[in-house]
Amino acid sequence: MRGVLSFADVDLARLLVALAVLLIAAHGMGSLFARFGQPPAIGEIVGGILLGPTVLAVISPNVQHWIFPSSGISAAALGAVYQLGLLLLMFAAGAEMRRLLQRNAVRTVGLIAGFGMVLPFAAGMGLVAALGAREFIGPARNHTALVLVFGLAIAVTSIPVISRIMHDLDLLSTRFARIVLSVAVTEDIVLYVVLAVAVGLVQTTSRTAFGLPAVLNLHTIAQNSAYHTVIAVIFLAVALSFGGQAYKMLAGTRVNILARRSPVAFQLLWMLALSAAALALGLVPLYGAFTAGLAVAVADDSLAVRQDRNALTGISFGFFVPVYFALIGLQLDLLHHFNPLFFLGFLVFGCAAKAASVYLGARLSRENRFMSWSLAVALNARGGPGIVLASITYATGIINQTFFVSLVMLSIVTSLLAGSWLERIADKLGAPARHRGQASEQLPGQVDTT
């Protein structure tokens, strides 16, 4: 009996040390990156890299293995924190969509979003067809899902990264910012729909298929693709049409003791319920968390609701989300699973395909060349959505570790490049000269979901 208790004590000690080290590294590097006007989440990932096989395992492999064992109770607990951090990140991202979406410049936004999604997505699918899937496919061995991921990797844009950069440069009030954020909102919604389809294909065809797809016993790839596409679109449409009303009604009913006692706890329950509903339908849980955030944003934008949402945000971005990003960095092995030559080619191809597509859409909408190129650079930042794409598809076995590392590095480098370029041209885009290069504090209520 004493031996069992001792073993549990050791695991608990490992877990506590691991969480403390992850928090220090994530917030420390995040603050350092923010100080230089760069996305804090990139710094949080770098903090995880320092603790992983790239740095700490080289300096002291015994220490690294003791703090972060590959299996056991501590590893399972960190995995749970990782999953909860992802759900909270998606919930916060969905809750911010309503604030960021703009209705003006419809023609410009429509053309840029259309060309900026369709052409890069097609380019990504063409690239994997030309290179072959053998070097990138994960243990799930699902070629269709891999093709979708390649397309998304080239087409994705990050709302939070680019909004934070433009806030620091005092560009959020400009027409340029309104166009960029409106396009990014559209692209992110499409991203999570397609990602839900890709992950659903893997989950349905595996032996551990769960929920409605297992009941329907779908067999062919065509059946799986059709089912998950239709379900993902319907789930989003229902959440947008009725989710806000349902949330408001449930939150206001007298029998809802949880909402009356702790609105934050009720928001958590709402997020978990929709995440579970998505999982039961064969969709990835993060899709449910994202739509739960959308519903909360649509339900009510009163001061009280914003304060409740900000309270949940404080918990999320104080602990769970930084640890989530640090754990992503912890998985990156840049010494053994990073191909610099492939990454350089992938970076050039991805940036060229995205930039050319956005530039074409902007020019067709009659924007001048300077504005068109500026939009092309800004919308190349992949940031948080690109990192989420990498982590989810790696965890579900769609991609292998080598491609996972390349996808995360693509998100990091494109975000840094976009920030550096926009800082140079901020005054030409309408930013007051006195604010150029000065990092500022986060806007009240703004969520840094990088």
For 146-156, the pLDDT digits (tens) are 999 999 999 98
For 307-364, the pLDDT digits (tens) are 566 677 788 888 998 999 899 899 888 988 898 999 999 999 999 999 999 999 999 9
What is the maximum span of the chain, computed from C-alpha positions, in angstroms? 76
Structure tokens, 153:
């990797």
Task: Provide mean pLDDT across the span 291-301.
Answer: 78
For 194-217, the pLDDT digits (tens) are 888 888 778 655 545 566 766 676
Q: Are 383 and 145 in contact (CB under 8 A)?
A: no
Task: Provide mean pLDDT across the span 357-382.
Answer: 91
Alpha-carbon distances of 107 from 112, 315, 361, rounded to whole Å: 9, 39, 10
Residues 6+ apart with CB under 8 A from 340: none
Residue 233 has pLDDT above 90, yes or no: no
Residue 103 has pLDDT above 80, yes or no: no
**DSSP-assigned letter for residue 159:** H
Task: Provide mean pLDDT across the span 353-376.
Answer: 92
Residue 438 has pLDDT above 50, yes or no: no
Residue 392 has pLDDT above 90, yes or no: no
Q: Which residue's entry shows tokens 């397609």?
A: 194
- Cα–Cα distance, 9 to 19 (Å, whole number): 15
Residues 6+ apart with CB under 8 A from 25: 47, 48, 50, 51, 326
- Cα–Cα distance, 177 to 164 (Å, whole number): 11
Provide the mean pLDDT of the chain. Answer: 81
Residues 6+ apart with CB under 8 A from 439: 34, 35, 36, 37, 168
Interior CA angle at 427 toward 426 and 432, to 5°?
105
Interior CA angle at 389 toward 106 and 266, to 5°?
80
For residue 439, the model assigns a pLDDT of 41
Which residues make beta-bridge pairs with 399?
Answer: 137
Q: Grade residue 70 by pLDDT with cuts at 50, 70 and 90.
A: confident
- Cα–Cα distance, 298 to 347 (Å, whole number): 37
Q: Is residue 447 part of a domain?
A: no
- Considering only residues 344 and 135, tell me which one the structure prediction assigns the higher pLDDT: 344
End-to-end CA distance of the chain: 46
For 251-278, the pLDDT digits (tens) are 888 888 887 788 888 889 999 999 999 8
Q: Grade residue 54 by pLDDT with cuts at 50, 70 and 90.
A: very high
- Considering only residues 250 and 221, tell me which one the structure prediction assigns the higher pLDDT: 250
Q: Is residue 298 part of a domain?
A: yes
Helix (H, G, I), strand (E, B) or coil at 290: helix
Its domain, for residue 290, covers 2-435
Helix (H, G, I), strand (E, B) or coil at 399: strand
**Cα 195 → chain centroid:** 11
For residue 308, the model assigns a pLDDT of 60
Cβ-based neighbour number of residue 271 at 10 Å: 28
Number of domains within the chain: 1
Q: Is residue 429 part of a domain?
A: yes
Q: Is residue 449 part of a domain?
A: no
Residue 398 has pLDDT above 80, yes or no: yes
Q: Which residue's entry shows tokens 């304060």?
A: 307
Poorest-pLDDT segment among 93-102, 244-253, 291-300, 414-423: 93-102
The pTM of the full predicted model, rounded to 2 decimals, is 0.76
Give me the percent of the chain exceeding a pLDDT of 70. 81
- CATH classification of the domain holding 19: 1.20.1530.20
For residue 252, the model assigns a pLDDT of 80
